[in-house]
Chains A and B, each alone.
Chain A
Amino acid sequence: AQKVTQAQTEISVVEKEDVTLDCVYETRDTTYYLFWYKQPPSGELVFLIRRNSFDEQNEISGRYSWNFQKSTSSFNFTITASQVVDSAVYFCALSEAQGSGAGSYQLTFGKGTKLSVIP
């Protein structure tokens, strides 16, 4: 069974501080995908990144960076120099193929981390 744990329920930081959101996952599959989504106060779910289990390279996109470590089953997300617009709930998610064929993938979400960036 797959599971995603985001131990941090809420985090508050002052603007311009760096913040890391933790994500730990469990899976028996050797092939899987990890995701981060952002849900701002307006409610939509915004895709941020997908990482394949074969690819442990860290990724940086502007102020966002992701650290994927299979040894610790973690996929942490760091926001550098946080801004008020970063305030949102962030979800980590895991996808395995439930069976064979297209459409069999489904996302298992963590419970989310609510980030508040204070001006």
Chain B
Amino acid sequence: DTAVSQTPKYLVTQMGNDKSIKCEQNLGHDTMYWYKQDSKKFLKIMFSYNNKELIINETVPNRFSPKSPDKAHLNLHINSLELGDSAVYFCASSQEEGQGENSGNTIYFGEGSWLTVV
């Protein structure tokens, strides 16, 4: 029943490893995102995809590579993990709603994936 689900929820790994976080949404939304929350709880966008097409890439290192096999999935692969990559990664999705003054774009988040690099 979970609208935006991501796995794994917790991930502990060593520096230099490669890891992936998977995300799926069953809301029928066209747009998906990855956000990063650092140790100070600051949230910042990393990527957005619309219908499998990359729309936003916020100066994220090349070690981070999102992949969207279809519009319901947006996976995040991270190569050569570094200590500074430790964070909570949130997947999210949204859909344009309404028109004109009634338009909007509500972003719904998954439960987060806690990545710890040791």
Report A's interface with B, CB cutoff 8 A: 33, 35, 37, 39, 43-47, 50, 52, 54-55, 89, 91, 93, 95, 98-99, 101-107, 109, 111-112
- Find out whether the CB atom of A47 lies under 8 angstroms from the CB atom of B107: yes
The CA-CA distance from A12 to B86 in the complex, in Å, is 29
Which residues on the B side are within 8 Å of A52 (C-beta)? 101-104
Which residues on the A side are within 8 Å of B77 (C-beta)? none
Q: Does B75 contact A (CB under 8 A)?
A: no
Which residues on the B side are within 8 Å of A33 (C-beta)? 104-105
In order of increasing CB-CB distance, the 7 nearest A-B pairs are A103-B50, A103-B55, A45-B109, A54-B101, A109-B43, A44-B111, A103-B31
The CA-CA distance from A52 to B94 in the complex, in Å, is 15
Given contacts A33-B105, A102-B96, is CB(A111)–CB(B41) below 8 Å? yes
A103 shortest CB reach to chain B, Å: 3
Which residues on the A side are within 8 Å of B104 (C-beta)? 33, 50, 52
Question: B40, B49, B58, B111: which contacts A103 (Cβ < 8 A)?
Answer: B49
Which residues on the A side are within 8 Å of B64 (C-beta)? none
Report B's interface with A, CB cutoff 8 A: 30-31, 33, 35, 40-45, 48-51, 53, 55-56, 58, 88, 90, 94, 96, 101-112, 114
Given contacts A47-B108, A98-B56, A101-B55, is CB(A112)–CB(B31) below 8 Å? no
- Our count of residue pairs bridging A and B at CB distance below 8 angstroms stands at 80
- Find out whether the CB atom of B106 lies under 8 angstroms from the CB atom of A50: yes
- Find out whether the CB atom of B42 lies under 8 angstroms from the CB atom of A106: no
B21 shortest CB reach to chain A, Å: 15
Which residues on the A side are within 8 Å of B43 (C-beta)? 45, 91, 93, 107, 109
Given A33-B105, A102-B51, list of 18 further CB < 8 A pairs? Answer: A33-B104, A43-B114, A47-B107, A52-B102, A52-B103, A55-B101, A91-B43, A101-B50, A103-B31, A103-B49, A103-B53, A104-B56, A105-B94, A105-B105, A105-B107, A106-B45, A107-B45, A112-B41
